[in-house]
Structure 1
C-alpha cells in the first residue's frame, strides 16, 4: 500500500468517527416533558366551627302597671292623670361567642348554630298612680293630701343581662367564598327588673322601697347575614337578628307595711341585634387537580 492510499484511508476513518460523534451528541440533546397539573384549593364550607362576635343592640321595652291593695288584693282603679303604660329604649353593646356546624351541598350551605352573649342593654320606664284632693285610692288610708305629694310613683329599670340563641341557617353561595344566609330559631335571655316605688303612709310620711327580680325568658329570633372566607379555615361575618320575648310578669313591687299599695309590672321586650364575627372551621383545605 502506498503512502497516498494510507492517507486516503486515514482521512475516511476520521470522517466516520466525526460523523458518529455528531450523531451521538444529537442523541444526548435535552428532552422536554409536560409540566405536572396545577394544584388548586377548593373553598369548602362543611365542618364544625367556633368563633367570637361583638356588636350593638337596639331593644325596646313596653311595660304596663296595675295597682292593687296589698291587704285585700282588690285592684286599685287609678284616677285620671295616672301613667299606667310606657315604652322605653333598651340599647347597649353586646359581645359573645358562637359554635356550629355547616354542611355544603353544591351552592347551598345548611347549618346549625348556638351562641351566648353578654349584654349592656338597659332602659327605664316611669309610672304614677295619681292622687286626688283627699289622697284617693292611690294613697290608701290617707285622708288629706300633703303639700307636694302627687300620688304613688314607680320607676322601672330593665336590663337584659345576657341572652343566647339556637338557630338553623340556610344559605346560598354567591361565589365559592361568599355566603348569603337566612337564620331563625329559639332565643333566651335573662331580664333583670328593678322597681323603685315611692308614696306616703296614712299619716302622710314619705316612704319608699326598691326591689329587683331576674327572669330567664324564652322567645324567638329571625335574621340574615353574609359570611366570607378569608382562608379555608377562617371566615368573617356580618349578621342581623330580630328577637322577641313576648309579654311576661316582670315583677311585683310593694310599699307594705308603710302603705298598703302594690304594683304588678308586665313587660314585653323585643330587640334588634347587629354584630360582626370571626369563625374558625376545623379541618384542612380541600385540594383538587386541574
Structure 2
C-alpha cells in the first residue's frame, strides 16, 4: 500500500513539473530609453564679426532767417535757403566685431528653443565726412554755401530674446528681437561767403548713447559637442537725433543772421557670423526612470 502511494506521488510531481514547463514565462518589460541630452540648454559665450551699413543716408537741414534792422530784408531768407535742404551723407557703417553671452532652453520634447542673448560690437570705418555745396546770387552778390556733415555709429549692442525651431538636433533656425543701444555722433558745420567780403559760419554737434530696438533672425549649427557656429541678420533703429545752432557773421550782416537745425536718423543693418562655446551649466540633470 505504501509503495503504491509513493509511486502515485512521484507521478503527480513529474506531471506538475511537465505542466509548469509548458506554461509561458513572463519577463519584466525593458526600461524606456534615456531621452536625448539637451545639447543646447545652458549658458554660452562667443565672438562675432561681420559688416554693418546704415539705412538712412541723409540729414535734413533747416535754416530760419533773423532780420537785422537797416539791411535789405531779402538778404536773410535767401541766405537761409542756401543753407537748407536734404544733405546726403556717407554710409555710417563698416566692419563690425565683438562678443555675445546668452542662455538657451530646449522645450517641447527638445524641438523648440527659447533664450536670451546680449552682445556688444565696435565699428571700424573710414572717412565719413560729406561736403555739400550750393551757390546763388543774393541781392546782386554771388554767395557760396558749404555744409560739412559727419555722422557715425561708434559701437552698437543688443539685448534680445530668441525663439527657434530645431530642424535637426544640431541645426537651429531662429528669430530674435529686443532692445538695441549704440554710441552715435553727428557734427554739422555751415560756411557761407560772398564776393563782397561777407562770411558767416554755424556749427552743431551731438554725441551720446541712443536706445532703440532691433529684430532679425539666423541659423546656428552645433558642429561639435559644446561648439556652435551661426550666421545672423539684424535690423536696428536708434531713432532720430536733432541738433541746432546759430549762423553768425562778423561782417555784413553783423551778428546772428539765422538759426539752423539738423535732423538725422540712425538706423541700419547688421550681417555677421559667430562662434559660441556652450557650458551647459544651466542644463537640467538627466534622470533615468525604471
Using structure 1 for the length normalisation, give the TM-score: 0.69
CA distance in structure 1 between the partners assigned to 2:275 and 2:223 by the alignment: 10
* CA positional deviation for 1:277: 0.8
Q: What secondary structure is seen at the aligned counterpart in 2 of 1:283?
A: coil
User: Aligned match of 1:252 in 220, 244, 268?
Assistant: 244
Q: How far 1:199 moved relative to its partner? A: 1.5
Q: Secondary structure at the match of 1:90?
A: coil
Task: Determine whether 1:58 maps to 2:58.
Answer: no
Residues of 2 paired with 1:110 and 1:127: CA distance? 48
How many equivalent pairs are there? 237
Two-structure CA RMSD over aligned residues (Å):
3.4
> Normalised by the size of structure 2, how large is the TM-score?
0.69
Cα deviation, 1:93-133, whole Å, max 9, x if unaligned, reads: 01111111110112101011111111135644544575433
| 272-281 vs 203-212, greater mean Cα deviation | 203-212
Q: Which residue of 1 aligns with 2:117?
A: 113
Whole-angstrom distance in 2 between the partners of 1:245 and 1:107: 34
- Point out where structure 1 has 5 or more consecutive residues left out of the alignment: 1-38, 135-143
Q: 1:15 maps to what in 2? A: none
1:273 equivalent among 270, 273, 277: 270
- Kept after mapping to 1: 8 A contact 2:173/2:219: yes
- 1:180/1:225 contact within 8 Å kept: yes
CA radius of gyration, larger in? 1
Unaligned runs of 5+ in 2: 1-33, 69-75
Q: CA deviation at 1:283?
A: 3.0
Tell me how far apart the structure 2 counterparts of residues 113 and 200 of structure 1 sit (CA, whole Å): 53
Q: Describe the SS at the equivalent of 1:132.
A: strand
Partner residue, 2:137: 132
Match of 1:192 among 165, 182, 185: 185
Q: Deviations over 1:168-209 (max 9, x none)?
A: 100111111111100011111111112222113897244556
Question: Equivalent of 1:100, from 85, 99, 102?
Answer: 102
